[in-house]
């Protein structure tokens, strides 16, 4: 799998989105603004497989606009924190790898939502039928929002960007485990300790939610597990070592002389690197080492020494 990711990096890495954490924060800002205008908007944007299969396909993307929590002062602190560690990971891993990490988390979340929907349809049909009747009575005035008032709409709200942000933090903790941060701006604590606490809380949350919890938490964080298994990125180097490595690569790149073409036409300037299927030959009648492409080999003016 690591070879596949490296291959994709070579082929499409140049199309990776730069500053992806910034765009994620912008999406949250739009979501908060929409919530301020209409508090019920999350029900229209949520990742509801039932509604998607009945034509509301925009939900495959619109759920990314739903903010991970209600807006307050601590939300601003949290968003800045996730933006900061996200940009750090993008610089450390590279643009393509960070894009791959985030978008794989989004795809696994969508798969998890449909997986939970399929499980409920196959194994909880009778229970859902009675629950749907209750929800239809309560929310019958909003059928266009809830997808006929079904319980699927309420379960879908559990699939949110909260777990995408959590995967960013876990990725940062696996990459820089010994970095210290100030918890509540006072208590110094290593990132790996905080990550362990978060992981325990997520496990407890999944257990309390029972079957839906395993789909929600498991699918949303599956990218973290697969990414570090596939790429083997993580704790092999300390932060100082990574910084020295990045500095060394910059110095080597700046000190490397420009590449000289192996074959170059003395008339048009074409090179073998630009035209790998073109033939280049030296002219025996020219005085000096002059090479020409196949179009100018017999049409050029011979060069003589003065």
Specify the pTM. Answer: 0.67
Residue 95, domain extent: 2-252
Q: What is the predicted pLDDT for the residue at 85?
A: 92
User: Three-class SS string for 43-88?
Assistant: HHHCCCHHHHHCCCCCHHHHHHHCCCCCCCHHHHHHHHHHHHHHHH
What span, in angstroms and rounded, lies between the C-alpha atoms of 291 and 305? 16
Structural domains in the chain (count):
2
Domain boundary among 228, 252, 276: 252
Do residues 92 and 118 both lie within one domain? yes
Do residues 201 and 269 both lie within one domain? no
Band the pLDDT of 124: cuts 50, 70, 90.
Answer: low
For the segment 144-153, what is each residue's pLDDT rounded down to a tens digit?
444 434 555 5
Do residues 166 and 49 both lie within one domain? yes
Run of H or E residues at 292 = strand 291-293
- Whether the CB-CB separation of 63 and 47 falls below 8 Å is answered with yes
Q: What is the predicted pLDDT for the residue at 236?
A: 45
Q: What is the predicted pLDDT for the residue at 17?
A: 92
For the segment 249-303, what is each residue's pLDDT rounded down to a tens digit?
677 666 655 555 567 888 888 888 888 878 888 887 888 778 888 878 878 888 8
Do residues 109 and 202 both lie within one domain? yes
Q: How far is CA 157 from CA 22, 80, 129, 153, 167, in A?
A: 24, 24, 19, 7, 18
CB atoms < 10 A from the CB of 154, how many? 17
CB atoms < 10 A from the CB of 122, how many? 8
What span, in angstroms and rounded, lies between the C-alpha atoms of 184 and 200? 20
Q: Is the pLDDT of residue 169 over 80?
A: yes
Do residues 270 and 247 both lie within one domain? no
Do residues 178 and 215 both lie within one domain? yes
Do residues 139 and 22 both lie within one domain? yes
> Once rounded to an integer, what is the mean pLDDT over residues 108-113?
89
Kindly calculate the radius of gyration of the chain based on its CA atoms and give it in whole angstroms. Answer: 28
What span, in angstroms and rounded, lies between the C-alpha atoms of 222 and 110? 12
Tokens matching residue 149: 């008032």
Domain boundary among 207, 232, 252: 252
Query: HSE on the CB side for 137, CA within 13 Å?
Result: 5
Helical packing angle, 211-231 and 162-175, nearest 10°: 40
Place of tokens 């601003």: 76
Q: Which residues, listed in sequence order, are joined to residue 291 by a DSSP beta bridge?
A: 282
For 221, counting Cβ atoms within 10 Å of its Cβ (0-12 exposed, 13-18 middle, 19+ buried), the class is buried
Do residues 294 and 175 both lie within one domain? no
What span, in angstroms and rounded, lies between the C-alpha atoms of 66 and 38? 12
Do residues 105 and 123 both lie within one domain? yes
Do residues 85 and 125 both lie within one domain? yes
What span, in angstroms and rounded, lies between the C-alpha atoms of 264 and 288? 14
Tokens matching residue 132: 């749907």
Tokens matching residue 204: 């407890």
Band the pLDDT of 83: cuts 50, 70, 90.
Answer: very high
For the segment 1-56, what is each residue's pLDDT rounded down to a tens digit?
667 777 788 888 888 999 999 999 999 889 889 988 887 787 788 888 888 888 88
Q: What is the predicted pLDDT for the residue at 260?
A: 55
For the segment 174-219, what is each residue's pLDDT rounded down to a tens digit?
888 888 887 776 788 888 898 898 888 888 888 887 777 788 888 8
Do residues 205 and 266 both lie within one domain? no
- Whether the CB-CB separation of 220 and 112 falls below 8 Å is answered with yes
Tokens matching residue 16: 């990776």
Do residues 64 and 203 both lie within one domain? yes
């Amino acid at each position: 799998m690591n070879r596949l990711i490296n291959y994709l990096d070579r082929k499409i890495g140049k199309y990776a989105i730069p500053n992806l954490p910034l765009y994620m924060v912008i999406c949250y800002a739009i979501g908060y603004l929409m919530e301020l205008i209409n508090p019920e908007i999350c029900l229209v944007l949520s990742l509801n497989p039932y509604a998607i299969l009945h034509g509301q396909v925009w939900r495959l993307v619109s759920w990314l606009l739903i903010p991970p929590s209600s807006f307050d002062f601590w939300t601003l602190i949290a968003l800045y924190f996730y933006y900061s560690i996200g940009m750090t990971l993008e610089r450390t891993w590279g643009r393509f790898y960070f894009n791959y990490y985030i978008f794989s988390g989004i795809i696994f979340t969508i798969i998890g939502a449909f997986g939970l929907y399929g499980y409920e349809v196959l194994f909880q049909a009778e229970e859902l039928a009675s629950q749907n009747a209750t929800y239809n009575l309560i929310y019958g005035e909003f059928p266009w929002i809830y997808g006929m008032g079904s319980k699927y709409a309420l379960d879908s709200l559990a699939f949110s960007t909260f777990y995408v942000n959590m995967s960013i933090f876990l990725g940062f903790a696996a990459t820089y485990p010994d970095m210290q941060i100030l918890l509540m701006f006072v208590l110094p604590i290593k990132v790996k300790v905080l990550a362990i606490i978060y992981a325990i809380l997520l496990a407890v949350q999944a257990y309390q939610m029972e079957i839906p919890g395993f789909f929600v938490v498991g699918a949303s964080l599956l990218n973290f597990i697969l990414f570090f298994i596939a790429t083997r990125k993580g704790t092999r180097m300390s932060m100082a070592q990574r910084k020295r490595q990045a500095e060394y690569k910059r110095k080597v790149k700046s000190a490397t002389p420009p590449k000289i073409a192996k074959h170059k036409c003395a008339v048009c300037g074409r090179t073998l690197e630009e035209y790998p299927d073109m033939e280049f030959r030296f002219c025996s009648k020219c005085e000096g080492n002059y090479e020409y492409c196949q179009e100018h080999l017999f049409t050029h003016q011979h060069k003589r020494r003065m």
